[in-house]
Structure 1
Amino acid sequence: MSSDHKESSYKQKNIELADLLTKQLIVSNEDFEKVSALLSKEFDRGLRSTEDSFVKMYLTYVRSLPNGEENGRFLALDLGGTNVRALLVEFHRSQSESSATESNQKQQQQEPQKGSIEIIDSSIETIPTEIFHGTGEQLFDFIAEFIIEFAFRNKLTGERIALGFSFSFPSIQKGIAEATLVTWTKTFNCSGVVGCDVVRLFKASLERKAHPSIPFIDVVAILNDTTGTLIYGALLDENCRIGLIVGTASNACYVEHSSRIEKWPSNYNDPEQMIINCECGAFGDNYVIDWALTCWDRQLNYESLNLNKQIHEKLISGMYLPELLRRCLLTLIELGIVFNGKTPIELLQPYSIRTRYMSHIDQDDENDKNNFPNTRIALTNIFNMKNPLFKNGFNDSDVKIIHMINRRITKRSANFVANALRTLANRIDNIDISIAYDGSLICLHPHYRCWVEEKLNEFIKTSEIKKRFRLIRANDGSLYGAAIVAAICDR
């Protein structure tokens, strides 16, 4: 046997071994049925009690969806990352009563049309690093000054303008404009805020920083980014009943019927519904899906800063997928399957792979005839090409293996998202359900959205409950949704 033939046989054997070892990343539809049933039970438990559940199913107190009757100017403020953003919009009713003819009025009653939204101005400002770890008063004073300056710039006049506040941190709401912070996440750790009503703190800062040249800014609603995404989606499509975020983090919300919300003891008047913020990233924190986890999922969890927390999110979100890829590669290196059993120094650092490189790798087709060019480019960005291990470039079998496991990790994420969506959809009476989505992973990845849609269609074929799904992109839904909710409150 020639040396070339031996090498080819060795490479093929490595590909087959990698395929066999990483098949555990492929979840069967039968297993997804079990996961869906368990998730549905957790949803029910959360609707009975927030305290006794892991999937919290928080009440948002947002009950009405946009209907075209919103009118006037409104402010929105978004605080959820390293920037704070402001938006000024104006709503125009779908048809003014003064100009509508009798026949048009009849048609309008039969076919309600959404009003239009006009963007007047927007602004964004980076939050200074020292504020992330300062006091709550410093944080809210900063954003109060920011929104007041924004209002002043736009020469807002009058006695009052309503503002919707998008606040994307775990909070318990007791009303549409009352939210107690449970814990800070991301890079925030401001003192004096956890356990307090953030709207009250924000209003106090607005009062301190009030300017006689602008109107009274009235914070009428607080919501998170997922709720905002659903609301914005409902402006675009009247069948929108689910909001979805898949980015660095992941979450979903949906419109639930009042009678099914046991922990909401009153207020069953029209509309008999409420948007529920699921916080479904915590599904599995009570070990019910441990059987579905791979060895790499368990390793990641054990060595994470939030041990046994956000298990479902660790299977899905952009923060964790690259780390799963890194850990898979380390296992294959240890077994001598890739990189000739030698570990590049870059893989010794946790979270050293960027999500965008996984997106680049997934641009290549799994049956690529051009030898995975995007995968090779991504690998040159991940690894130092001066390393002697890569002096002759990347081994063909290594490239194919890395592409294979990268796709399996990302596709599994999309499948878990689809499974959560169909579980939520089964709780909604509508046959036609639109899902508004936002987030860097689902919006920027070349195939993620399609994979979610494909899996939803697979589930439909085997389900007794037939649904028709439509995914609609709601760019900046957190910000637009906050403005829309402010308009709904004034409506």
Structure 2
Amino acid sequence: MTTFRKSLLAALKSFFRGKSFLQALFAFWISPRKLKDQHVNSKATRTSRTISEFLREAEELLLSPTEGVRLRTFSSDLKAQFRERLQTHPECMLPSFNHLLPTGNEVGQYLALDVGGSTLRVALVELRGREADGRECEIIRMISFKITPEIKRLEGMAFFDWMAMRIHDVIHKDGVASTQDPIPMGLAWSFPVEQVSLGGGLLMGMGKGFLATSGLLGQDLGEVIKSACQKHGLNVQLASIINDSTATLLSQAYTHAETRFGLILGTGTNIAVHLPVSALSRFKYGTRPESWFDSASHVIVNTELGMFGHGILPLTRWDERLNATHPRPEFQPLEHFLSGYYLGEICRLAIVEAVETAGLLGGELPPSLVEPYSLDTEILSRIEADTSSTLEKALIAFTSAHPTPIPATPADISAIHTLASFISRREARGAEDLATPPHTKVAFTGSVIEHYPGYLAKCQSHITTLISGAENPTLAAGSIDLVPAVESSIIGAAVALGCALTDGQTA
């Protein structure tokens, strides 16, 4: 009777809030267990297929458009877009002022800086020459300085004053500042800059929360850094500015003479390539002295690779859903297809559909996966890294990051493992449509290609497949090898500086 009275009292309260008396009474009388069972059963009625059926369709959608002949067609279409944009597009295929690859004879100690989104690194790098097999270059000393949110909020010259003080700390410890001559520096700058000379570039907005360009937009980066250093008693000259993809290329070209490409494949993606000057239309070069053209036969080009692929990429409905909510859906289509930032989101969208239509995870989506971009690629990497039969580590990795309302089963994790493998294999197939010259090395860096399980091997395998099936006999007999570029930003900045000084160029 006690239970009945409580149910009746609760029902009366609900009645006065506007509910049907009988509806409220039944709602409180039915046991929670019964309600849960009904909830699960209602989920089951929404299931329109099995997990196996869902995965078969996912494999067809994600992988079949880039298999066999289709992969070669996809590659050819991208190359056609590359050639077209070498002539016309103002935002990609951008020629730098760097026209020399290292000879391997550049030797000496060089001061190199790397300014990224979260860290400033200042290093003294020794180049010993290509003949010093295995010891061609070495970072003699390097200090990293965290760029905290407070540092990012430093406005204008205040940020560059902070940089100058960090440079001062490093070079005085190494005795580099003992000379009266200007100290040449090489800089890897991971932000937009309108380069106007080898060591000069007009500052553009940095993004990522930085206020350093406040009041300085359009000023020469080299002069800004020189001015800040002079305040702290440093006589420096910024002799070379490069971006991260150029740094990757140069860092390995110093060791491997066949290197012609520098590939970034991590959170984002890009590639630098060494091309004949004549491969680009003249307007691409903007305003630069005729003396540059007189001395340059080739040039390092920042392709902005992520901008390619519009109208070519075989999009799934998950790609289209990602694009539908993206603020610039057509700006970087290949970046959406390749980079680590989007790999997790494509998988999340597929998991949401599998939960709703195939009963994955008991038909209940983890609350933490409701928001876009909530599935980190690093979690997928840990799941794919588990090749055991039990997938125990994968289960722990997923459920620790995304607790499930209904306990996840090994079958659930196996399905997510399979889905992740489809997406990473598709990404690897797209990542190799980059180069065709025979006997070429592609220097690479980035969290995805370096750390995602099996990713590098898949890329190399697809490259080899494309070469072996090439119609050009010379290409078919050649090779394109992926080689790691360790500490590429710092070493690349030092190599660029060594090239500039050896060639007698100035900023």
TM tier, smaller:
0.7 to 0.9
Q: Give the residue type in structure 2 aligned to 1:414.
A: A
Is 2:339 aligned against 1:320?
A: no
* Deviation at residue 380 of structure 1 after TM alignment: 2.3
Partners of 1:18 and 1:337 within 8 A in 2: no
Is 2:165 aligned against 1:126?
A: no
Question: Alignment partner for residue 244 of structure 1, among 259, 263, 281?
Answer: 263
Give the Cα–Cα distance (whole angstroms) in 1 for the partners of residues 130 and 263 of structure 2.
27
Is 2:467 aligned against 1:448?
A: no
Partners of 2:126 and 2:139 within 8 A in 1: yes
* Deviation at residue 346 of structure 1 after TM alignment: 1.1
Is 2:210 aligned against 1:188?
A: yes
Partners of 2:72 and 2:466 within 8 A in 1: no
Give the Cα–Cα distance (whole angstroms) in 1 for the partners of residues 99 and 133 of structure 2.
19
Give the Cα–Cα distance (whole angstroms) in 2 for the partners of residues 177 and 406 of structure 1.
43
* Deviation at residue 335 of structure 1 after TM alignment: 0.7
Structure-1-length-normalised TM-score = 0.83
* Deviation at residue 118 of structure 1 after TM alignment: 3.5
Equivalent residue of 1:125, what SS?
Answer: strand
* Deviation at residue 119 of structure 1 after TM alignment: 2.5
Equivalent residue of 2:341, what SS?
Answer: coil
Partners of 2:48 and 2:357 within 8 A in 1: no
Partners of 1:17 and 1:337 within 8 A in 2: no
Equivalent residue of 2:385, what SS?
Answer: coil
Aligned twin of 2:421: 407
Is 2:88 aligned against 1:64?
A: no
Give the Cα–Cα distance (whole angstroms) in 2 for the partners of residues 188 and 408 of structure 1.
37
Partners of 2:251 and 2:485 within 8 A in 1: yes
Aligned twin of 2:469: 462
Structure 1 residues 92, 33: closer, same or farther in 2, change over 3 A? closer
Q: Deviations over 1:424-483 (max 9, x none)?
A: x22x4xx21011111111111221110100111111122123230221111110111001
Give the Cα–Cα distance (whole angstroms) in 2 for the partners of residues 40 and 60 of structure 1.
21
Is 2:51 aligned against 1:32?
A: no
Equivalent residue of 2:238, what SS?
Answer: strand
Give the Cα–Cα distance (whole angstroms) in 2 for the partners of residues 115 and 476 of structure 1.
14
Question: Alignment partner for residue 112 of structure 2, among 54, 76, 82?
Answer: 76
Aligned twin of 2:124: 88
Structure 1 residues 31, 197: closer, same or farther in 2, change over 3 A? farther
Partners of 1:441 and 1:448 within 8 A in 2: yes
Equivalent residue of 2:101, what SS?
Answer: coil
Equivalent residue of 2:102, what SS?
Answer: coil
Question: Alignment partner for residue 60 of structure 2, among 23, 27, 49?
Answer: 23
Partners of 1:169 and 1:184 within 8 A in 2: yes
CA RMSD of aligned residues (A): 2.6
Q: Deviations over 1:67-107 (max 9, x none)?
A: 23213221111112211001102333568xxxxxxxxxxxx
Structure 1 residues 417, 474: closer, same or farther in 2, change over 3 A? same
Instruction: Note the 1:219-368 alignment, pairs <5 A.
Output: 219-263=238-282, 264=285, 266=290, 267-270=292-295, 272-284=297-309, 287-289=310-312, 292-365=314-387
Structure 1 residues 61, 339: closer, same or farther in 2, change over 3 A? same
Q: Deviations over 1:350-408 (max 9, x none)?
A: 2222222111111134xx5x132332122122222xx5411xxx223312210111111
Give the Cα–Cα distance (whole angstroms) in 2 for the partners of residues 241 and 347 of structure 1.
41
Partners of 1:232 and 1:484 within 8 A in 2: yes
Is 2:214 aligned against 1:197?
A: no
Moved more, 266-275 or 222-231: 266-275
Give the Cα–Cα distance (whole angstroms) in 2 for the partners of residues 94 and 335 of structure 1.
58
Give the Cα–Cα distance (whole angstroms) in 2 for the partners of residues 134 and 200 of structure 1.
19
Give the Cα–Cα distance (whole angstroms) in 2 for the partners of residues 476 and 363 of structure 1.
25
Give the Cα–Cα distance (whole angstroms) in 2 for the partners of residues 183 and 34 of structure 1.
38
Moved more, 117-126 or 127-136: 127-136
Structure 1 residues 346, 90: closer, same or farther in 2, change over 3 A? same
Give the Cα–Cα distance (whole angstroms) in 2 for the partners of residues 122 and 339 of structure 1.
48
Aligned twin of 1:174: 196
* Deviation at residue 308 of structure 1 after TM alignment: 2.8
Q: Give the residue type in structure 2 aligned to 1:18.
A: L
Partners of 2:366 and 2:402 within 8 A in 1: yes
Give the Cα–Cα distance (whole angstroms) in 2 for the partners of residues 199 and 301 of structure 1.
38
Give the Cα–Cα distance (whole angstroms) in 2 for the partners of residues 198 and 247 of structure 1.
27
Equivalent residue of 1:236, what SS?
Answer: coil
* Deviation at residue 183 of structure 1 after TM alignment: 4.1
Q: Deviations over 1:152-181 (max 9, x none)?
A: 121222123211110112333232112234
Structure 1 residues 246, 94: closer, same or farther in 2, change over 3 A? closer
Q: Give the residue type in structure 2 aligned to 1:437.
A: F
Q: Give the residue type in structure 2 aligned to 1:488.
A: C
Is 2:412 aligned against 1:375?
A: no
Structure 1 residues 379, 92: closer, same or farther in 2, change over 3 A? closer
Structure 1 residues 114, 343: closer, same or farther in 2, change over 3 A? closer
Partners of 1:184 and 1:194 within 8 A in 2: no
Structure 1 residues 222, 181: closer, same or farther in 2, change over 3 A? same
Equivalent residue of 2:462, what SS?
Answer: helix
**Unmatched tracts of structure 2, length 5 or more:** 1-43, 503-507
Moved more, 134-143 or 399-408: 134-143
Q: Give the residue type in structure 1 aligned to 2:499.
A: I
Give the Cα–Cα distance (whole angstroms) in 2 for the partners of residues 138 and 441 of structure 1.
35
Between Structure 1 and Structure 2, the one with more helix by share is 2
Equivalent residue of 2:415, what SS?
Answer: helix
* Deviation at residue 250 of structure 1 after TM alignment: 0.7
Moved more, 155-164 or 181-190: 181-190
Partners of 2:269 and 2:335 within 8 A in 1: yes
Partners of 1:11 and 1:397 within 8 A in 2: no
Q: Give the residue type in structure 1 aligned to 2:333.
A: I
* Deviation at residue 193 of structure 1 after TM alignment: 4.7
Aligned twin of 2:81: 42
**Unmatched tracts of structure 1, length 5 or more:** 1-6, 96-111
Aligned twin of 1:105: none
Equivalent residue of 1:389, what SS?
Answer: coil
Partners of 2:49 and 2:358 within 8 A in 1: no
Give the Cα–Cα distance (whole angstroms) in 2 for the partners of residues 71 and 244 of structure 1.
25
Structure 1 residues 196, 414: closer, same or farther in 2, change over 3 A? farther
Give the Cα–Cα distance (whole angstroms) in 1 for the partners of residues 363 and 455 of structure 2.
31
Partners of 1:326 and 1:353 within 8 A in 2: yes
Give the Cα–Cα distance (whole angstroms) in 2 for the partners of residues 240 and 490 of structure 1.
21
Structure 1 residues 315, 473: closer, same or farther in 2, change over 3 A? same
Aligned twin of 1:135: 155
Partners of 2:50 and 2:358 within 8 A in 1: no
Partners of 1:253 and 1:275 within 8 A in 2: yes
Structure 1 residues 134, 34: closer, same or farther in 2, change over 3 A? farther
Q: Deviations over 1:98-154 (max 9, x none)?
A: xxxxxxxxxxxxxx9898333221010011313324423222222122112211121
